[in-house]
Amino acid sequence: MTRGGGGSGFGLQNLSRITHGKGSYLYDESGKAYLDGSGGPAVFCLGHAHPEVNAAINTQLQKIAYAYRYLFSSSALEDLTALILRRSGNVYKDILYNCSGSEAMESALKVALQHFVARGLNKKTRFISRHRSWHGDSLGALSVSGFAARRRWFEGALSNVRFVSAANTYRLPEGCEPRLLVDFLAKELEQAILSEGPENVAAFIFEPVVGAAGGVVPAPPGYAAAIAAVCRRHDVLTIADEVMCGVGRTGTWRALEHDQVVADIMSIAKGLAAGYIPLSATLVSEHVAQPILTEHGAYQTGHTFSGHTAACAAGLAVQQIIERDRLLDRVRDSGAELQRTLRQSLVRFEEVGDVRGRGFFIGIELVKDRATRAPFPATRGLSYDIAQRAFANGLICYPCAGNVDGVAGDTIIVAPPYNAKDVELEEIVVKLAQAIGEALSS
């Protein structure tokens, strides 16, 4: 399994051979069609083979595919940067480009550390993150990920990171009442900072809507503002990992717009270039950037393919189409309807414990007992069973396991393209319900 949605859980043997895609569908060499009901791992926000995106990439390739970022700028990079800053609400100063979400998170961690070094606060090197979180496959990003199943082979090489409770209203921390959850979590975070020593803590990392590690878990109202206040009090930066939930997936361009909160540093990736060419970015606020640029003159992070010219052209085309076609309005409105329809369709299954999410980012949690919310044994592999049955019936959905304790717990993620047609959304509901029914009756 790889980054926040990068792994399918099916393994890499005997895979169907893809030949082409069109819109919301993919086709293998036998001619079989697969409706992409999860956007792969919440990546393909405009579907496949969009003619305008392909044309923009081809036009760029005819000029130059790539020029080294530290020798040249480009109109594609500059125009994309201006668009991202504007779509983010003009709350960030700089953008550092990478290829993957893991790289974007590595850059976020490095920028946070460099910020405090520039201020002469060299002891602020510790990070705090949450249980049931996933921030990337590289060692730094993996260190701040609370995902036991993906960490266990590498524990000896991971950095020492403090973890606090997940912000999950369906699975509350022991002894916490639902109405007290935000207060509980804010106090827990503050206690963790005090325990580590505020002079030692650089940043708190969180996903505004948890993806693969939790099966789409939006934080409760007021949570983001509460933890941001705690961090400000102790000169701790906030890093929002919006790799999976950002760039419109939840119906707002920044997922944290919903919470009216701005993180000090934000990472984005999947929906940025929509899978047409790998592209990610780390957004840095003015107050984080200023000491770095004053003292060091530049950010000490970057890669050979940072700001890849053709990737930026792809990202620019994707974002212009989303804006022009008002697709975030569709995600917000149709997403709410899709969630209602899924809930109505799946209520007949006692094993469906929760249907949750925002926009076109919806999670279905399956439980052995709806009353106690006890999960199925990990050995059952229920989420993967459902996904394999759906795949056999021509539907791609995204299975996730271990959302309860890192081992047990089954969820399915639905994350269709922003421009999916109503009839395609209906097909997702029908085929997913069929796959769940087949798996539960086997």
Contact (Cβ atoms closer than 8 angstroms) between residue 267 and residue 144: no
List Cα–Cα distances, 235 to 18, 125, 198, in angstroms: 50, 12, 7
Domain end call among 270, 290, 324: 324
Q: Answer yes or no: do 305 and 349 share one domain.
A: no
Model pTM score: 0.96
Q: What is the dihedral of CA 336, 181, 192, 134, to 10 degrees?
A: -30
CATH number, residue 199: 3.40.640.10
What is the reported pLDDT for 6? 44
Give dist(CA 45, CA 61) in Å, integer.
22
Identify the three-state secondary structure at position 344.
helix
Give dist(CA 89, CA 184) in Å, integer.
30
- Which helix H or strand E contains 124, and what residues bound it? none
List Cα–Cα distances, 374 to 42, 84, 137, 174, 412, in angstroms: 27, 42, 29, 14, 17
pLDDT tens string, the chain, 442 residues long: the values are: 333 444 444 466 789 999 999 999 999 999 999 999 999 999 999 999 999 999 999 999 999 999 999 999 999 999 999 999 999 999 999 999 999 999 999 999 999 999 999 999 999 999 999 999 999 999 999 999 999 889 989 999 999 999 999 999 999 999 899 999 999 999 999 999 999 999 999 999 999 999 999 999 999 999 999 999 999 999 999 999 999 999 999 999 999 999 999 999 999 999 999 999 999 999 999 999 999 999 999 999 999 999 999 999 999 999 999 999 999 999 999 999 999 999 999 999 999 999 999 999 999 999 999 999 999 999 999 999 999 999 999 999 999 999 998 899 999 999 999 999 999 999 999 999 999 999 999 8
Q: Answer yes or no: do 158 and 251 share one domain.
A: yes
Q: Answer yes or no: do 15 and 81 share one domain.
A: no
The neighbour count for residue 305, using CB atoms within 10 Å, is 17
Domain end call among 304, 324, 344: 324
Domain that holds residue 80: 54-324
Contact (Cβ atoms closer than 8 angstroms) between residue 365 and residue 403: yes
Q: Cα 140 vs. chain centroid, distance in angstroms?
A: 17
277 token code pair = 């060419």
Q: Answer yes or no: do 305 and 382 share one domain.
A: no
What is the 3 state secondary structure string of the chain? CCHHHCCCCCCCCCCCCEEEEEECEEEECCCCEEEECCHHHHCCCCCECCHHHHHHHHHHHHHCCCCCCCCCCCHHHHHHHHHHHHHCCCCCCEEEEECCHHHHHHHHHHHHHHHHHHCCCCCCCEEEEEECCCCCCCHHHHHCCECHHHHCCCHHHCCCCEEECCCCCCCCCCCCCHHHHHHHHHHHHHHHHHHHCHHHEEEEEECCEECCCCCCEECCCCHHHHHHHHHHHCCCEEEEECCCCCCCCCCCCCHHHHHCCCCCEEEECHHHHCCCCCCEEEEECHHHHHHHHHHCCCCCCCCCCCCCHHHHHHHHHHHHHHHHCCHHHHHHHHHHHHHHHHHHHHCCCCCEEEEEEECCEEEEEECCECCCCECCCHHHCHHHHHHHHHHHCCEECEEEECCCCCCCCEEEEECCCCCCCHHHHHHHHHHHHHHHHHHHHC
Q: Answer yes or no: do 228 and 171 share one domain.
A: yes
The neighbour count for residue 71, using CB atoms within 10 Å, is 6
Q: Answer yes or no: do 166 and 196 share one domain.
A: yes
CATH number, residue 340: 3.90.1150.10
Q: Answer yes or no: do 415 and 433 share one domain.
A: yes
Q: Answer yes or no: do 121 and 73 share one domain.
A: yes
Contact (Cβ atoms closer than 8 angstroms) between residue 25 and residue 34: yes
What is the reported pLDDT for 149? 85
101 token code pair = 């979400």
Is the alpha carbon torsion for 289, 300, 283, 113 positive or negative? negative
Q: Answer yes or no: do 287 and 410 share one domain.
A: no
Domain end call among 280, 298, 324: 324
What is the reported pLDDT for 8? 40
DSSP 176: -
Q: Answer yes or no: do 205 and 62 share one domain.
A: yes
- Among the listed residues 354, 340, 334, the one whose alpha carbon sits nearest the alpha carbon of residue 409: 354
The neighbour count for residue 86, using CB atoms within 10 Å, is 12
Q: Answer yes or no: do 391 and 420 share one domain.
A: yes
- Cα-based angle 27, 215, 24 (whole degrees, multiple of 5): 20
Instruction: Please name the amino acid found at residue 145.
Output: S
What is the reported pLDDT for 11? 62
What is the reported pLDDT for 242? 98
Instruction: Report how many domains make up the chain.
Output: 2
The strand pairing partners of 162, in sequence order, are 128
Q: Answer yes or no: do 278 and 360 share one domain.
A: no
